[in-house]
């Protein structure tokens, strides 16, 4: 990424913002309600844009990627920017891009959504140690996730994207992960908030590992968030396609769209978008397609995101 911070670092930093929000009552998986969202069918209305590609422009104390030589943007300006530049009225901000979680600041973000005639359709959280051998660390991950679910309720987001942060020298454990993420999904059900798991990090967030965890939990509020490109960073297009197809069977409202991914060493892989959209259609996916352009560090995300929007509309139309 061109600095000393990894993507995992910025996701972890999101958890340090002061929350001070109320808790809630947990329910059992057996009592979990089925989520029900009505999704738009018009192609452009199914599009959303995430704040991750624009991280170098977003001024926040928990965003280490902000480049001060570039024009600064508060996350409250993001919905309007997306509407003006891309004619897209759905957004997926990252928790790390919020300067605060106090009531007044969250209210200003909701007002910005209304002004842009936009909606938040997913909220990106930091990483948590959901399979750490230390039960205290696992509980901290669950408690932090619950707090951010409360923020999502405040913002009007129907779901959160929970990243899976690993522990040093600890292999991802599907049983421990299912136990702890099951607790978070139970809490999400009490708030009618879906918890999404994305195939992001190649080690901690392998698509088939995520599917295994979801199938162990068996809670309708724990879902997959397939990313069309992330698993391709491993260099195996066939495995990436199988992983995305497996995740689509457990997806509900959100899917990330990329047409290219770039490894830390600078190697570029092109995503077969027609094939990926074909997998989504075959699975019956009805939710939002989120533009998450990827590129080389320092590359301008605006033209890349615009290209993604037009490519996606061409395929969906």
**Is 301 contained in some domain?**
no
**Is 44 contained in some domain?**
no
Q: Give the C-alpha separation, 243 to 264, whole Å.
A: 21
Contact by Cβ (8 Å): 226, 72: no
pLDDT grade, residue 167 (50/70/90)? confident
Q: What percent of the chain has pLDDT over 70?
A: 90
pLDDT at 142 over 50: yes
Mean pLDDT of the chain: 91
**Is 22 contained in some domain?**
no
For 196, the domain range is 121-225
pLDDT grade, residue 32 (50/70/90)? low
**Is 197 contained in some domain?**
yes
**Is 185 contained in some domain?**
yes
**Is 202 contained in some domain?**
yes
**Is 129 contained in some domain?**
yes
> What local confidence, expressed as pLDDT, does residue 205 receive?
98
Contact by Cβ (8 Å): 50, 94: yes
**Is 141 contained in some domain?**
yes
CB-count exposure of residue 22 (10 Å: 0-12, 13-18, 19+): exposed
In this predicted model, what pLDDT tens digit does every residue of 168-214 receive, in sequence order? 889 999 999 999 999 999 999 999 999 999 999 999 999 999 999 99
Q: What is the count of structural domains for the chain?
A: 1
> What local confidence, expressed as pLDDT, does residue 176 receive?
97
- Domain with 149 in it: what CATH number? 3.20.20.150
């Amino acid at each position: 990424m061109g600095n000393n911070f990894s993507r995992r670092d910025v996701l972890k930093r999101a958890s340090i913002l002061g929350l001070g929000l109320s808790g809630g009552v947990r329910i059992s998986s057996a009592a979990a309600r089925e989520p029900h969202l009505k999704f738009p069918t018009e192609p452009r209305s199914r599009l959303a844009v995430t704040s991750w590609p624009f991280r170098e422009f977003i001024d926040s104390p928990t965003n280490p990627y902000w480049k001060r030589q570039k024009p600064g943007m508060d996350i409250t300006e993001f919905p309007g920017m997306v509407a003006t530049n891309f004619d897209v009225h759905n957004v997926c901000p990252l928790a790390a891009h919020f300067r605060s979680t106090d009531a007044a600041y969250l209210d200003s973000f909701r007002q910005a959504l209304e002004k842009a005639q936009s909606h938040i359709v997913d909220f990106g959280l930091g990483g948590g140690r959901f399979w750490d051998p230390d039960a205290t660390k696992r509980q901290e991950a669950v408690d932090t996730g619950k707090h951010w679910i409360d923020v999502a309720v405040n913002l009007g987001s129907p779901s959160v994207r929970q990243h899976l942060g690993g522990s040093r020298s600890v292999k991802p454990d599907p049983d421990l992960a299912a136990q702890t993420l099951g607790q978070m999904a139970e809490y999400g059900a009490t708030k009618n908030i879906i918890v999404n798991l994305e195939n992001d990090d190649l080690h901690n967030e392998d698509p088939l590992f995520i599917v295994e965890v979801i199938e162990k939990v068996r809670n309708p509020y724990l879902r997959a968030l397939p990313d069309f490109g992330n698993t391709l960073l491993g260099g195996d297009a066939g495995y990436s396609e199988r992983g995305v197809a497996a995740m689509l069977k457990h997806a509900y409202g959100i899917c990330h769209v990329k047409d290219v991914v770039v490894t830390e060493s600078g190697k570029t892989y092109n995503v077969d978008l027609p094939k990926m959209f074909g997998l989504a259609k075959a699975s019956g996916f009805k939710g939002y397609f989120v533009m998450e352009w990827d590129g080389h560090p320092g590359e301008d995300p605006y033209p890349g995101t615009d290209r993604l929007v037009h490519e996606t509309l061409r395929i969906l139309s």
